Amino acid sequence: MTDWAPYTRRASEWFETLRNSICAEFEAIEREAGSEASFQYTPWRRDAVDDEKGETGGGTRGLMKGQVFEKVGVNISTVHGAFGKEFASSINGASVERPEFSATGISLVAHMANPHVPAVHMNTRFLTTTKAWFGGGADLNPPLPYDEDTEEFHAAFKAACDAHGEDYYERFKAWADEYFYIPHRKVHRGVGGIFYDHLECADEAMWEANFAFTKAVGEAFLAIFPKLVRRRMGMDFTPADKAQQLEWRGRYAEFNLVHDRGTLFGLKTGGNIDAILMSLPPEATWS
């Protein structure tokens, strides 16, 4: 049986490096807009669940509220322990008899001040139970969609996918379309992206391949999203544009609170509440 601990450390180090690069780029955008906003970092320790004892990992919540980024959170975490009995059977490779797990990842959600700039979500992660696998993805959530932005966002992730699997983009785009859907509204959360999960690592070679793909996903996000922000952040907008943004933020909140697996995972494993719910918008409306 492979000892995945060194690989968890490698993945964790990459997620921290990616966090630093993304935050630096977002702060640079704020400077271009004449803002001195910067990320505030808050470390946290994971609370044990059920019969676990003591601290079992933790992470850092990064939060910035600026002129361009009304609210953006970039969180990293590395936790380990055992799933609660009711939750264990719902996780790949875990069970009531074998509830142990480790998880490391990065999670990002940006809500933008200008409604012409799309909101966005990105996360990548590595988990181990009796199995080991990668998951993640990114999706674009514009209140006022632009075909040009949508096409370039998808093109960036298609290029990342195509370099690692000839069927990855079609599979993971379709998975995102299915996953990021609000059934009670009968609408998608945004204009899609990619979503993948349970990209399993049966051996070290598979881990290296899946890790390389996961890194490519993060790099694709870093390359494309700041470009879209800079394109739209100076545009004029009307009260009607803002009203549409707030309505879509309400739908975003509904999805994350009702359907999102990451929210449930964090709450069920003793994660930091503020870090888990950082995805919620700073302001929203419901008609």
Q: What is the pLDDT of residue 52?
A: 59
Q: What token pair was written down for 127?
A: 């988990």
pTM, 2 dp: 0.92
Domain 5-279: give its CATH superfamily: Coproporphyrinogen III oxidase, aerobic (3.40.1500.10)
Q: Domain-by-domain residue ranges, the chain? A: 5-279
Q: What is the pLDDT of residue 261?
A: 78
C-alpha 253/C-alpha 9 separation (Å) is 32
Q: What is the pLDDT of residue 95?
A: 64
Spell out the alpha helix ranges (H) of 123-269: 147-162, 168-179, 204-232, 239-258, 261-268
Positions marked active-site: 121
Which residue positions in the chain have pLDDT lower than 70? 1, 48-55, 83-97, 269-270
Q: What is the pLDDT of residue 4?
A: 87
